[in-house]
Structure 1
Amino acid sequence: MSVQRFVGPNSRDAMRQVREALGDDALILANRPTEGGIEILAMADNAVAALDTPMPARPPALARDATPWQAMSERLLREMQEMRELLDRRAPPKQSAPPSVRERLMTQLLAVGFSREIATEVLDGLPARLEGNAKASTEATQAWLSERLAARLITLESEAALLDRPGIVALVGPTGVGKTTTTAKLAARFVMRHGAASGALVTTDSFRIGAHEQLRIYARLLDVPMFALEADAPLDTLNERLQSATWVMVDTVGTSQRDQRVITQMAALKQTPVPVRLVLVLNAASQPDILEEVIERYRQAARAAGATLDDCIITKQDEAGRLGPLLDVIMRHDLRLLFGAHGQQVPEDLALIDPSALVAQALATARPDAPVHVPAASPARDILGQGRRVASLLERLRQRVAGFSQLEQLTALSGLPRSVQAARLETLQATPPVAEVLGICWGPRRRERGMDWALPDLGVDAEGRWTALAWPQHRQPAGWAARLEAQTTATQAAVHWLPVGLDAEAHAWLEAQLAPWVGAARASQRVVFQGERLTLGQLFAASQLGNALPLRFQGRALEQRSAYAEVTFTGLTTPLLAWCLELFDPESERVQARRYYVTPARLGSEAQALLATPLQAEGVAALTRRAWQLQKKYAEGDIDVELRLLLASGMAAAVMHLDVASDDGASTLRRDLLALVGRRQRRDTALLDALHHAFMTREAIRALSASYAEADE
């Protein structure tokens, strides 16, 4: 038996016996006083591991001569064995759940130097297909993240946007950021594009030893004139000497952001009849808090001088340990990135900013141990964050939705006196749209229910998506053929969606142009099918509709099922295809609506791809009514009726564009828009409310900025 009994006159002696017999690791099972002293039951530690034989569920009867003390020792052994078995059967510890996609991306953004503020704004647009998929591929998530970050950067479209515009460009910033070398690089690029005759260099740096001479060497190499000016002298003192130059580059003296002379410098640059474009030069290798302070102080100085400072150039890109903090501060302050410098060679080491490449470089320089820059919290920063989100949304809508820029111009008009609105509107309406449209979805020639206006004619772009362009019906000539002719000439439209059946003249014009078209029809419309005269309702009464396609209709996800037959119309010489469409709800398994259309027979079954547009137009009409009411309720001041209608229909078309699209870009835009107001209603109406809110927020910020500018004057 592995349990041994030790008796000693006292506990110290008994324990000595235990150690001598079983070692220092012996397991004491029990001890008790006896007539002879102290009794201890103990066993060797390695004997516990040897107890592998399971103990019976109920112990056998103890021998008649077994003492209570021996019975207790047996029970102890049995309990120890049961505990051992329990430990052997214990469940393995639960492993912590793997981080979600959002958590992984948040960790990554913080590690490369972005603030939690920007990281949160970026990840708020994470698509559901990625956020809810823990197994989403790294390639997919990184591609989305890179695209999202690149979209947050405001950059110069081309060198021409800076170098082909006559005027004065002044580089400002602290000492040692590379203004003089950058001045030479930009001047060299100008000379390469336009020659040396129309350029000039100016320096205000009279403090650094040799600063004039350094720029003078560059001027001599480029064969352009160079002029020196005292740092606090107004720029207009050089007006006569700069008359022959159409483009002037100014290299200013480097001034610490904490130096009060920054304000004096800005005021001197502002004193010229020619507008001066201020460009802040930032050292990419600077600490985040230094970059923050430089931007804030220089912008404050520019505002104090009545100027704006919205452009920047980054230098020493090759010396930066990581670019995340730099991009973060640029995003938060909405600076436009013009160029990036990555070396001393003139002009080679200066490049137009490529947002995707810059983001890729930033994401490749993770330092988990680096401190995260946390901008100071303030109400003003919250307002800036709201303005930044709205500006980003509107910029992405501008890039995606054709005609959105014109819609924004209309929004700006609504804030002017009504006496001015009509004249400005005439000018805008006379200007052809920037983007050509694929086709025109013609509005019904009747007033909308409960309204005193008819839905304008709306544009569809080359990808079959709604544009924000609209043309009021009262501006169209009389007669369908004349309308079609005028709009096709003005917009280069190739496809036409018509709200009624065609007359012979309009049909002849469309056929002569070989233009694709779709005409709405009614169930009572009579046609000739295989020599028999039938209504469309009778023609398709027994038809089995198939070829189900997904479709969003009036804010709902439905299926479009169709059937078609070749027919002829009285008075028309060419055959047509008559279409019957059913909108089917796959959840309730019920038909929600039935519509009839006609298309040219020459298009064949491919015409089905055109049938979603008139269905979606029904939703545009409903959204236009809602937008009209929002304009009437919230607009400040009196708005011209036509202007209000163009605003309402343009907003409705832009929202329909987003609501029916299924790509990731549209999904992200929808999510960001809805985040402005929350979604407490149907998606399309919630999107419309959010777009209206974005416009109101932008105009409010503009008005506030204008009021501060007036107060400063």
Structure 2
Amino acid sequence: MNVKRFTGRTSRDALNLVKQAYGDDAVVLSTRPCAEGVEVLAMAPDGMQQIERAANHAPTIRSAAAEAPAAAARRRDARIEERVEPHIDGEAEVTGDVGRLGMSTLSFQDYVRERMLKRRKAEMAPAAAPAAPVPAPREAAPARAPRAEVRHDLRLEPRPEAPRRRVPPVLRDEIRHAHPPFADTQARLSMHDEELHAAARDSQLDMMSELRSMKGLIEERFGALAFMERMQRNPRQANLTQKLLDCGFSPALIRKLADGLPADALDETAWASSVLERNLLAAEHEPALEDAGGVYAMVGSTGVGKTTTTAKIAAAFATKHGAGHLGLITLDAYRVGAQEQLRTYGRILGVPVHTAHDRASLEDLLDLLSAKKMVLIDTAGMAQRDNRTRELLDMVGHRAIQKLLVVNASAQGETIEDVMLSYQAKACRGVVLSKIDEAVKLGPALDALIRHKLRVVGVANGQRVPEDWHRLSAQSLVQRALKAAPAASWRMDANDVNLIFTGVQGIGARGTHA
């Protein structure tokens, strides 16, 4: 007989291989899962007939069922899983089985099955004369009936339960399925490992974020305690801080000034004023725009006074050098009546106003007006966050054009900061502060100019042309900013100052470590 092992992804695939090898009458010995899927041990139909013939020729041995019930009970309690051994010569029987069944080709499991069949047949045979006298049997409990009394059909139970199941050895002639599922299993394991690694990475990132937040909170608390302690030890720093904060300067600039306040300074306000004047760039020592000449384009957000500033500079130039050396160009084709406003000023000055709709027409006008000593270009007012702002800056990006950024001095500090960044203030010739007569606090505008290191080329403090066009020095601007007197509802006390500075310091710490 020849037992073969068939493997497939499913039991149906393995049984199909068995049918292809031995036909529909093949004898299936065992089925179990394996690494390739399902493993089936089977043999040809004539192999089962050989086992039956071998079982019929085996000697008949009676069991010791007639033994005393008490002794049988003790033996059953001592060896529950062990059956009654037949009185045969074990060594001779095993040797005969090996020679007769061909152990070289029969698996260990088939050998055990053959031994069990012999034991069952011996137990079912009629009791023979015992070798030793047997005492009179007592009535046995029905619940402890021996298993040998139950009959089993060989054909109905091809695989009886063995006392100890052992894994059969792998035979040499095995048939494997064409598509083992090992690759799919390995791919699923790889995907599972990647998901575990991704979850671990996410957990580490969350932990790092929590640690950064905790670090920022600790630095904020300690910074608050240190700031309040320093203010309590040095009341002059506290007074300077509150004074500058009321004037509208940023907490970052105030903190630098407070930290640099010398101990021997007699007046902290005068010392801060001198520091601000040295850091504020003004064009007081340079020639005025109307005297220097050139091509200038007024840029800025909506409603800051670009057209009025253009008219003021044009009037100042025409008064000194005459209207024949002046050229006016407008690019404001978006607002209704915007061109008419500048044309009105041009008619008053006796200067024609030209209109350019694109960069090509602007370059043609610049060539036409190249003989003029000063050319002023009025641009359309656009919000700093408008998508067309970039197009406007590209349009006036000619190498001969110098841009002047017009900033509303009465705007909030954050708005001025956003305008300077959007209109690329560092690439401009200078800054014109407009509407300083409307500004309650001039500190935010001067603070932005100091931090961005921009030059103030002029200021406008009204609607009159050209009377409200001035060139102020850094000292005049700083003194004007320090004279600001906020309303009582907007004035801060010491507790509010501590709260603002500790909050800003904590935010800066979190932003640095984020």
The structure number with the bigger radius of gyration is 2
TM-score w.r.t. structure 1 length?
A: 0.35
- Structure showing greater relative contact order (alpha-carbon pairs closer than 8 Å, 6 or more residues apart): 2
TM-score w.r.t. structure 2 length?
A: 0.48
Q: Which has the higher helix share?
A: 2
